[in-house]
Amino acid sequence: MQDIRPPVVVFVYGTLRDGEPNHSLLASARFLGVARTVPRYTLVDMGSYPALVAGGLNQVVGELYELDTGTLEEVDEYEDHPAFYRRSPVELEDGREVSSYLLPEAMAVGSRVIESGDWGQRSRVG
């Protein structure tokens, strides 16, 4: 039986972005463009990957992908949803609400904030 569930639009901001090490998980997803959240989030550096936390004053830069059910399930598993990250709605600066993977604030305590809101700019000073 064919899956008739609609695709889900997901905002990715770290290692799933184009050029990052886990982007291959999105090989079958449709790229929809670059996007920014409203300035109500915090992006933190967890070492080899970032985490998006609700609350804060930063806009976060990422990419939008349309995922079919199978790809969404694979990404949920990769992101350890809901045990670690939680797939949750986020608001974009253009007013759209899409899904993304958020880390509970308590799990990000002590992590360095990426002030630029852009994982790709994490090592640049300024």
Q: Which residues are catalytic?
A: 79
Here the tokens at position 121 are 């700019």
Question: What is the C-alpha separation between 68 and 63, in angstroms, rounded?
Answer: 16
Q: What is the dihedral of CA 30, 33, 38, 42, to 10 degrees?
A: 70
Helix (H, G, I), strand (E, B) or coil at 81: coil
Are 100 and 9 spatial neighbours (Cβ–Cβ below 8 Å)? no
